[in-house]
Structure 1
């Protein structure tokens, strides 16, 4: 790595020259750096806004799942069978599905080798369990904080290798050559030195960028993403990276004071759902108004435990996702607040003393609680019996659910779509590798925990390809600056205009809130063509006027202003993708419901916006791809690639491998 100082307008700007920059310090980013080093490319560094920020390190669930190939027992499984599971989720290319399956065991055992405590039996078999959209028992877990443990262990091995980490650097531009054909570097805000105009900006001139920036969490107000996760998809789209399956995300019920998925035993102990006015008064058990009988209500609550993501296929006939709709109806349509009460049983299904009538439960619910020795008491007592750490988790974060209600909402949780890449995780922009959640490798549905597998596989593939094909030095400094000058000057001018016009008041957080509220209301799990069109107009107007309308009271808020810029680009493109999907005849699927005037209401008393039509998904075998062109978006719909059937005769593969013809 080489260091220079160059002049941009009247500012001194630090420049680092190196082969590869990894942007992001989550599980995918750290794995990319570790793999690059192990494969022989050591001229590398990590750039991160904050090493302790992001989704991987700060999220989890009741039992956070990692999805892998079956590695125990007698159940038949294979790479091809796992690939078929991924492919069956819809709108996923077969070559990506096969690759994620093929590297599953390798990626999993790498995590085991560096100390992630996945459980195995006395023979060394890594046993599994069935997760959602999983025909086998491929799921495993290291507990509620699986991804945190992965990140911490990967960070440790990266630091042992003395790989340079630029901590406190926010990427504000992905730099390309003049033809927008390949990425040649990045421009970052140095958050550690914002007060010094000659250290405020840093350039990284590099041959490759591995982009592990996570999902676009910042554009949602109601979110289970950690507060520290914002995303940087917008500036990649601005640079010319292609988007893919941007309509596809997951949403589900989560707590909002401490952001956490409320899956598993949190639902299976059958808590009481109550709503109040904004002041916490006028308490109502609102679910009972909509169900035919208390037994069906309890079964729907129970099934939310392992059917956690909202799914329009599970709305009719009082299935589990009707719970999500009823929570949204209370919070968004009626403007009330919704809570889980673990201290009392639902009154509709209890006697005068508050004892639950377990005899009204469906067979699956009853047998689960019976097998767990939990056919007794109040929800909190059942939770303590089945999963005491679930109670401890909230106590550790300042919420005592043994004594207080837990406020909830339907929240954004994961982006299945994202940036396009090929089977080596290289974008349409050469030398640019989106990995982890920012990569749109998933289709409409995916098995629980497959995102963690995908992040490890994708970052490994990127490292393999770079080491085999993109070694060597980056551009000469003068050529780099000439090629990227226009974009560098544009972003520096925007930043300096704000920095030189500080005021006594600030509105950057207000703008961020407005962006989030818009997306959560019209671009999350309840959608319509009319609302998408309105959101497109509003987000584009806000983007065009952002820097003119932004007021900063301190230089620390430069970071927030550039985040708002990224989020508005992201929101504009995502809402445009939703509009395009609906206009192509797209129906409710995955984790969202689309209003259809010719459809049906799941329950008669609900608001008209919940009217939708179920049916055959005609776009299930196609992938939507998009280019952002500044004032518009260009969409293409491509047929999915089938799962490849290559020549796997050993001698033929060995011959190609020995001649270096595989990683091409």
Structure 2
């Protein structure tokens, strides 16, 4: 018998309101630079970003009595606060039934390759403390009557380590962490866009000392752009991934992340070729991932052409109605595109079919009021005629109901409530969607404490390149919490180089750049730069990537950066200044990614994870019911590359790429209580260098 959930239960899990009042940081003094009044803030630590990862770092720093300030573009807004899926997943060590094995969990996290073994183990072990910390401050994770957290299986997850608070899991994480930050009297600088990291020293002695930001509240006649300096001996980059890189994206708008900022500072990055792509609603409407029960309810997926004609296009790809419906279901827990699942009529053939249909100018819909229509010559859809794994799942969840909307309402009423809350009633209207860029698995290179190649500078959350080629669904939320905690511990335990500098030369140079871009007629507009970058990335470096197009795309990206270096980006009003620097950072990130992708292809790299490298020389060909899809012939993965990472760094005006092996995990059998307790007591654990990568 299904349990009916009242509106009073559904609403708080869907309409999650954030705190409105925080403690505002105040500048310690005002600088006079080039005739402008520039506020200067001084703190021990600066966290950039107020999402789930950044707030965890800030909370843990405050608990350790560190003077920390959070600078955020928009308070409690961004990917973790505004994105999600059907029942957004938090993936941690499992406490259900019989506990977990950290070594096995670490193996699962890095199973796709290109992930450091020590990082995977750190995320596995740290998941318990991170998870309990969230529960203790009120995250409403579901439990059974014995107190065990309820679990389920998600993508790239064979052990069932996933749990969820519903579609708004990460937003609820932000909410409880924000409330905790307020209780701890954490200071914030709202409407602050960091445009430059500040460093001192050279070579191995180079270290972070702060940042320059544009702060809306600091605008005045003596500072029309709102330029501010924030001095800090530790900086945590937690502003998320580069969502604005792609036109076809499920990120909320204005998600620029920290990648371009880090590249401009010369930080090392890894795995920039690795992403997640998957189906989701369109960005101009309500961007959301259509994973889990959205697909497990098996809606009818169809397209509408420019003449308004409806097409049951998946029936051209799958051989039987049973095969078609079963693979729609499997998209629920095999949601990200995966090259290998395009073969043998697997679940990612759904994504390829959607992509191909959209390339013809057709709009794709899913209808929860209709079951999948049959393949020609095959029986009609029937709950009795599904693959065994699909029928077992529906039966175990008492979801053998007549229509997709009934199955969805039974398995996950919050999934319906979410779209209703955002203006779309799935019970009445079909839902338009497409294949989108959803997550960046690569990013800024970090050690096991989250520290980057620049001393005192940390990267956590999606900004950090801690993931390999694939990852279990929800592992990213766990990684952000684990490294938010670990970087706070490291910052507190290690001494930092403080500075008394006012950075007059650096700020003067920025002012000159702004003045130039406010008057030049040769600079491209922000909109022109945005359009060029997003079209290039979605058309050439999306999940379908034709290898022969990458070199020219890279050359075009270089030309754009040369143009920006020479002429800047036009600023037609002072309030465009922050965007000007953000799009310069996106242009740099675009070139960095294409540099890595081009290098990977030249080194014999093949299709892996969510990117399909199509080539006439490919040895893999997807098939449809109508025959081989030779237009999408692709290169198979080279297994040797699983043991490598590509490191990309901006140095002396050019990108340098090198190949490095993975960091191994030391022999854990050598760790003993009496022998290793002194390392904890003396703090030497914070100074232990990770085992160097292999060849």
TM bin, normalised by shorter chain, reads over 0.9
Q: 1:509 to 1:398 in 2, by over 3 A?
A: farther
1:614 to 636, 659, 668: 636
* 1:205 alignment partner in structure 2: 231
Matched, 1:633 2:667: no
Measure, in 1, the Cα distance between the counterparts of 2:272 and 2:166: 30
> C-alpha displacement at 1:522, in angstroms?
1.2
* 1:104 alignment partner in structure 2: 127
Measure, in 2, the Cα distance between the counterparts of 1:499 and 1:223: 30
1:561 to 553, 568, 580: 580
Q: 1:50 to 1:255 in 2, by over 3 A?
A: same
* 1:3 alignment partner in structure 2: 28
Measure, in 2, the Cα distance between the counterparts of 1:219 and 1:491: 24
* 2:594 alignment partner in structure 1: 575
* 2:18 alignment partner in structure 1: none
Q: 1:314 to 1:201 in 2, by over 3 A?
A: same
Matched, 1:652 2:675: yes
2:278 to 249, 252, 264: 252
TM-score by length of 1: 0.93
Measure, in 2, the Cα distance between the counterparts of 1:268 and 1:551: 48
Measure, in 2, the Cα distance between the counterparts of 1:538 and 1:191: 34
| Contact map agreement 2:462 2:476 (CA 8 A) in 1 | yes
TM-score by length of 2: 0.89
Q: Deviations over 1:236-274 (max 9, x none)?
A: 111011011111111100011211111111111221222
| Contact map agreement 1:345 1:355 (CA 8 A) in 2 | no
Q: Deviations over 1:567-626 (max 9, x none)?
A: 111111011111111111111001110113222330266765521133542200111111
Q: 1:216 to 1:615 in 2, by over 3 A?
A: closer
| Contact map agreement 1:176 1:182 (CA 8 A) in 2 | yes
Q: Deviations over 1:17-54 (max 9, x none)?
A: 2211110000111111111111232x210000101321
> C-alpha displacement at 1:427, in angstroms?
0.7
* 1:262 alignment partner in structure 2: 290
Measure, in 2, the Cα distance between the counterparts of 1:441 and 1:90: 12
Measure, in 1, the Cα distance between the counterparts of 2:213 and 2:578: 10
Secondary structure class of the residue paired with 1:84 = helix
> C-alpha displacement at 1:513, in angstroms?
2.9
Measure, in 2, the Cα distance between the counterparts of 1:501 and 1:628: 27
| Contact map agreement 2:518 2:572 (CA 8 A) in 1 | no
* 1:623 alignment partner in structure 2: 645
> C-alpha displacement at 1:8, in angstroms?
2.6
- The worse-fitting range, judged by mean Cα deviation, of 343-352 and 375-384 is 343-352
* 1:394 alignment partner in structure 2: 419
Secondary structure class of the residue paired with 1:448 = coil
Secondary structure class of the residue paired with 2:641 = coil
Q: 1:549 to 1:36 in 2, by over 3 A?
A: closer
| Contact map agreement 1:355 1:378 (CA 8 A) in 2 | no
Matched, 1:90 2:113: yes
> C-alpha displacement at 1:446, in angstroms?
1.1
* 1:533 alignment partner in structure 2: 551
> C-alpha displacement at 1:71, in angstroms?
1.5
| Contact map agreement 1:502 1:553 (CA 8 A) in 2 | no
Q: 1:569 to 1:609 in 2, by over 3 A?
A: farther
Measure, in 1, the Cα distance between the counterparts of 2:103 and 2:518: 55
Measure, in 2, the Cα distance between the counterparts of 1:67 and 1:365: 23
Matched, 1:405 2:430: yes
* 1:591 alignment partner in structure 2: 610
Measure, in 2, the Cα distance between the counterparts of 1:38 and 1:648: 29
In structure 2, stretches of 5+ residues that fail to align are 1-25, 688-695
| Contact map agreement 2:126 2:482 (CA 8 A) in 1 | yes
Q: Deviations over 1:456-476 (max 9, x none)?
A: 1111111111111135x7201
Q: 1:91 to 1:358 in 2, by over 3 A?
A: same
| Contact map agreement 2:374 2:380 (CA 8 A) in 1 | no
Q: 1:107 to 1:289 in 2, by over 3 A?
A: same
Measure, in 1, the Cα distance between the counterparts of 2:465 and 2:548: 26
Measure, in 2, the Cα distance between the counterparts of 1:631 and 1:3: 35
Secondary structure class of the residue paired with 2:84 = coil
Measure, in 2, the Cα distance between the counterparts of 1:659 and 1:248: 39
| Contact map agreement 2:321 2:373 (CA 8 A) in 1 | no
> C-alpha displacement at 1:643, in angstroms?
1.7
* 1:305 alignment partner in structure 2: 332
Q: Where in structure 2 are the equivalents of 1:322-333 lying within 5 Å? A: 322-331=349-358, 333=359
Q: 1:197 to 1:406 in 2, by over 3 A?
A: farther
Measure, in 1, the Cα distance between the counterparts of 2:330 and 2:168: 22
Matched, 1:661 2:675: no
2:623 to 594, 603, 624: 603
Secondary structure class of the residue paired with 2:453 = coil
Q: Where in structure 2 are the equivalents of 1:69-468 lying within 5 Å? A: 69-74=93-98, 77-177=100-200, 179=202, 181-194=206-219, 196-198=221-223, 200-256=226-282, 257-278=285-306, 281-331=308-358, 333-348=359-374, 356-468=381-493
> C-alpha displacement at 1:493, in angstroms?
2.1
| Contact map agreement 2:87 2:415 (CA 8 A) in 1 | no
| Contact map agreement 1:350 1:356 (CA 8 A) in 2 | no
> C-alpha displacement at 1:351, in angstroms?
12
* 2:500 alignment partner in structure 1: 476
Aligned length: 652
| Contact map agreement 1:255 1:406 (CA 8 A) in 2 | yes
Measure, in 2, the Cα distance between the counterparts of 1:381 and 1:120: 25
Q: 1:169 to 1:476 in 2, by over 3 A?
A: same
Measure, in 1, the Cα distance between the counterparts of 2:166 and 2:414: 10
| Contact map agreement 2:154 2:334 (CA 8 A) in 1 | no
Measure, in 2, the Cα distance between the counterparts of 1:152 and 1:660: 33
Measure, in 2, the Cα distance between the counterparts of 1:351 and 1:325: 23
Measure, in 1, the Cα distance between the counterparts of 2:236 and 2:122: 18
| Contact map agreement 1:502 1:552 (CA 8 A) in 2 | no
Measure, in 2, the Cα distance between the counterparts of 1:251 and 1:308: 9
| Contact map agreement 1:182 1:432 (CA 8 A) in 2 | yes
Secondary structure class of the residue paired with 2:364 = strand
Computed over aligned residues only, the root mean square deviation of the Cα atoms, in angstroms, reads: 2.5
| Contact map agreement 1:586 1:617 (CA 8 A) in 2 | no
Q: 1:192 to 1:540 in 2, by over 3 A?
A: farther
| Contact map agreement 1:509 1:560 (CA 8 A) in 2 | no
> C-alpha displacement at 1:198, in angstroms?
1.7
Secondary structure class of the residue paired with 1:477 = coil
| Contact map agreement 1:17 1:474 (CA 8 A) in 2 | no
> C-alpha displacement at 1:299, in angstroms?
1.4
| Contact map agreement 1:350 1:357 (CA 8 A) in 2 | no
Q: 1:4 to 1:270 in 2, by over 3 A?
A: same
* 2:12 alignment partner in structure 1: none
- The worse-fitting range, judged by mean Cα deviation, of 108-117 and 82-91 is 82-91
> C-alpha displacement at 1:419, in angstroms?
0.2
Q: Deviations over 1:629-659 (max 9, x none)?
A: 3643111111112222143111011122222
In structure 1, stretches of 5+ residues that fail to align are none
